[in-house]
Amino acid sequence: MHGTTGQANATKYIFVTGGVSSSLGKGIISASLAKLLQARGMKVTIQKLDPYINIDPGTLNPYEHGECFVTDDGAETDLDLGHYERFLDVRTSQANNITTGRIYQSVIDKERRGEYLGRTVQVIPHITDEIKRCVQILGEGDRYDFVITEIGGTVGDIESLPYIEAVRQMRWERPQDTLVVHLTLVPYLSAAGELKTKPTQHSVKQLLEFGVQPDVLVCRTEHELSKSIRNKLARFCNVNVEAVIQSIDASTIYDVPLLMQEERLDEVVLNKLGVDSTGPMDLGPWMNFLQKHKNPEQRVDIALVGKYVELKDSYKSIAESFTHAGAAVGVQVKLHWIHSEQIHAENAQDILSDMDGILVAPGFGSRGIDGKIEAIRYAREHNTPFFGICLGMQCAVIEFARNVVGLREAHSTEIKDYTPDPVIDLMEEQKGLADMGGTMRLGAYPCALTEGSLAATAYGMDTVEERHRHRYEFNDAYRDRFIEHGMRPTGTHPDSNLVEIVEITGHPWFVGAQFHPEYKSTVETPHPLFKAFIEAALNEKTKGGVTQKSADQDTASA
Ligand code: GLN
């Protein structure tokens, strides 16, 4: 660690709790603080503790919990881990997301193995010890200077009590190495024309009841916090006035690190932990990104076709990938969220003709499949740049089979058990699995790219690693027929030969990926496929858009 004045070289643990209301953005505050520490040359990781009983969010419906983010090691995790990776450009793993289900499972497994030597197993100390173990495991081996642990839920929730108790114990055991940041809301009452501190006071009181004194208050607010409001909060909540940090609504989440820097959140945290805060700070690449993001030269309109579009968190990583890639290409990407159930053969033209590119999203199950297939048909026939991800790629294969290869009843066996042409079929290793949780093909796998393909050109490499989350795959028995008709695999798994990417020859940009490129896009490393897709969309737009699209479609659909 750089310039530690306290206990030498000990990893510091920062806990981020939330009060007053959910959805205040603990994930973004945690990621922003981490970014500032990282910009000072510190090694930082962020962890999310989720108080629900599910082992992981892999089995949760996106309506419940937004997107499920997948790590390299195949963990299905909370979408906040996506923010952590996008902000820090550092990979996370299973150890970065722990749920109550996982904690209890591990304690119960130990109990069954007799490891508690006949003692009664209780929330305190056994569950709290397991929580502390999961936190401190990240600090082992000097891998990180800082471990930032975000505690899901709101202080006072019954289910988060063991976590707050674990924080209390760690504060007691390692006072020099631990710190608590409490995120609250300071609401504005327009009738009174005033910002109100009482909810924050109450929420800090609640934390105090559990024995935890926050060191820093981060206050979400729609209006500037005056000096007197800050003083009042400091006085009632026992924090220094400089540790009352305003977090005012921002136009983009990527502004939050800078807003936190202005408020000196990083400095306050370092000083409290006895770490030298005078060193230089390099936010250069971040500032470059923001500069480009805020000053686009052109705009492209992209349709995002999916079945969860009412809840934008369901496609969080895809939307953020467009932000990163858009900045890199110098364009504003205007996303049009289109519900796949609304697209039919008759209205596809009306809905999609103004789009410069069409992305068909990942998903599970049959709802909205027909609309996805119609959107793909439109993209293929009108030479609109197309990007299909996971289920989106599988739908592209079905569409091509039906309308180009001539297999009218082709389908995926996920959607239809009995089809004469199962062009998408269950993977061999998936057959016979009964458990739903954690049993998909998950995590990073290598993918060998075909020279000269759109994918190889975009990546500028011949082998890449991408993350997966699926049970079904392209049915290899149809490979030759597809190639004959103009759809070719351009990315395959080197050992098993599984098809990971398909492209259509003669189309300006038609790429389907079985993996999820969106999980690997970060602010500082935008994803090559998203960049290439946006470039293709821009290209088509400047060529004159749909009106001048060539007759290439005849080759593709002959
Ligand atoms: N449902 C498909 C499968 O399991 C696609 C999954 C996805 O889009 N993530 O193969």
Residue nearest to ligand 1 atom 1, measured at CA: 364
Active site residue 219: no
Vertex 214 angle, CA 209 and 219, to 5°: 110
Q: How confident is the model at residue 552 (pLDDT cuts 50, 70, 90)?
A: very low
Instruction: Measure the CA dihedral 459/462/468/474, to 10°.
Output: 110
- Given this model, what pLDDT does residue 60 score? 85
Q: How far is the CA of 548 from the centre of ligand 1 (A)?
A: 35
- Given this model, what pLDDT does residue 4 score? 42
Please give the average per-residue pLDDT across 24-49, as a whole number. Answer: 96
Residue nearest to ligand 1 atom 5, measured at CA: 391
Q: Is the CB of 471 under 6 A from ligand 1?
A: yes
Q: What is the bridge-based pairing of β-strands 411-412 and 97-99? A: unpaired
pLDDT single digits (tens) 49-80: 999 999 988 888 888 788 999 999 999 999 99
For 323, counting Cβ atoms within 10 Å of its Cβ (0-12 exposed, 13-18 middle, 19+ buried), the class is buried
Q: What is the bridge-based pairing of β-strands 510-513 and 386-389? A: parallel
State yes or no: pLDDT of 551 exceeds 50. no
Give the three-class secondary structure for 127: helix
Structure tokens belonging to residue 310: 């009412």
Atom of ligand 1 nearest to the CA of 362: 8
DSSP designation for 422: E
State yes or no: pLDDT of 557 exceeds 80. no
Q: How confident is the model at residue 436 (pLDDT cuts 50, 70, 90)?
A: confident
Active site residue 209: no
- Given this model, what pLDDT does residue 438 score? 80
- Give Cβ neighbours of residue 152 (< 8 Å, ≥ 6 apart): 26, 48, 49, 50, 51, 52, 78, 160
How far apart are alpha carbons 156 and 203 in whole angstroms? Answer: 8
Q: What is the bridge-based pairing of β-strands 216-221 and 178-185? A: parallel
How far apart are alpha carbons 365 and 412 in whole angstroms? Answer: 10
- Given this model, what pLDDT does residue 539 score? 94
Atom of ligand 1 nearest to the CA of 469: 9
List 411, 516, 527, 535, catalytic entry: 516
Q: Is the CB of 306 under 6 A from ligand 1?
A: no
Q: Is the CB of 307 under 6 A from ligand 1?
A: no
DSSP designation for 151: E
Q: How far is the CA of 416 from the centre of ligand 1 (A)?
A: 14
- Given this model, what pLDDT does residue 63 score? 80
Q: How confident is the model at residue 1 (pLDDT cuts 50, 70, 90)?
A: low
Atom of ligand 1 nearest to the CA of 516: 9
pLDDT single digits (tens) 218-238: 999 999 999 999 999 999 999
How far apart are alpha carbons 91 and 520 in whole angstroms? Answer: 9
pTM (2 decimals)? Answer: 0.93
- Given this model, what pLDDT does residue 291 score? 97
Active site residue 518: yes
State yes or no: pLDDT of 546 exceeds 50. no
Q: Which residues pair with 70 in a beta bridge?
A: 76
Atom of ligand 1 nearest to the CA of 392: 8
Please give the average per-residue pLDDT across 86-101, as a whole number. Answer: 96
How many whole angstroms from its chain centre is CA 176?
Answer: 32
Q: How confident is the model at residue 7 (pLDDT cuts 50, 70, 90)?
A: very low
How far apart are alpha carbons 548 and 106 in whole angstroms? Answer: 61
Q: How confident is the model at residue 556 (pLDDT cuts 50, 70, 90)?
A: very low
How far apart are alpha carbons 454 and 268 in whole angstroms? Answer: 48
Please give the average per-residue pLDDT across 326-331, as a whole number. Answer: 97
Q: Is the CB of 531 under 6 A from ligand 1?
A: no
Q: Is the CB of 377 under 6 A from ligand 1?
A: no
The dihedral sign for the CA sequence 446, 447, 449, 455: negative
- Given this model, what pLDDT does residue 17 score? 97
Structure tokens belonging to residue 283: 């936010």
State yes or no: pLDDT of 175 exceeds 50. yes
How far apart are alpha carbons 400 and 410 in whole angstroms? Answer: 9
Q: What is the bridge-based pairing of β-strands 178-185 and 12-18? A: parallel
User: Which of the listed residues 317, 389, 394 should we mutate to test ligand 1's pocket, taking the one with most ligand atoms within 8 A of CB?
Assistant: 394
| Between residues 309 and 161, the one the model is more confident about | 161
pLDDT single digits (tens) 282-294: 999 999 999 999 9
Q: Is the CB of 469 under 6 A from ligand 1?
A: yes
Q: How confident is the model at residue 432 (pLDDT cuts 50, 70, 90)?
A: confident
Find tokens 């009964």 and name the residue: 434
State yes or no: pLDDT of 88 exceeds 80. yes
Poorest-confidence range of 239-248, 293-302, 305-314, 373-382?
305-314
How far apart are alpha carbons 557 and 510 in whole angstroms? Answer: 13
How far apart are alpha carbons 124 and 129 in whole angstroms? Answer: 8
- Given this model, what pLDDT does residue 532 score? 98
Count of Cβ atoms closer than 10 Å to residue 72 Cβ: 18
Q: Is the CB of 421 under 6 A from ligand 1?
A: no
Q: In whole angstroms, how far apart are CA 507 and each of 128, 152, 487, 550, 554? A: 57, 46, 10, 10, 10
- Given this model, what pLDDT does residue 544 score? 65
How far apart are alpha carbons 376 and 397 in whole angstroms? Answer: 10
Residue percentage of the chain with pLDDT more than 70 = 96
State yes or no: pLDDT of 173 exceeds 80. yes
State yes or no: pLDDT of 216 exceeds 50. yes
Please give the average per-residue pLDDT across 75-86, as a whole number. Answer: 95
Q: CB–CB of 217/237 below 8 Å?
A: yes
Q: Which of 212, 193, 195 is nearest to 18 (CA)?
A: 212
Find tokens 């939050």 and name the residue: 256
The backbone region for 393, taken as left when phi is positive above 0, alpha when psi lies in -120 to 50, beta otherwise, is: alpha
Q: How far is the CA of 363 from the centre of ligand 1 (A)?
A: 6
Q: Is the CB of 470 under 6 A from ligand 1?
A: yes
Q: How confident is the model at residue 312 (pLDDT cuts 50, 70, 90)?
A: confident
State yes or no: pLDDT of 550 exceeds 70. no
pLDDT single digits (tens) 354-408: 999 999 999 998 899 999 999 999 999 999 999 999 999 999 999 999 999 999 9
Rg (CA), the chain: 25
Q: How confident is the model at residue 3 (pLDDT cuts 50, 70, 90)?
A: very low
State yes or no: pLDDT of 554 exceeds 50. no
Poorest-confidence range of 113-122, 162-171, 425-434, 546-555?
546-555
- Given this model, what pLDDT does residue 12 score? 97
At 97, which helix (H) or strand (E)?
A: strand 97-99
Poorest-confidence range of 27-31, 200-204, 275-279?
275-279
Mean pLDDT of the chain: 93
How far apart are alpha carbons 352 and 301 in whole angstroms? Answer: 10
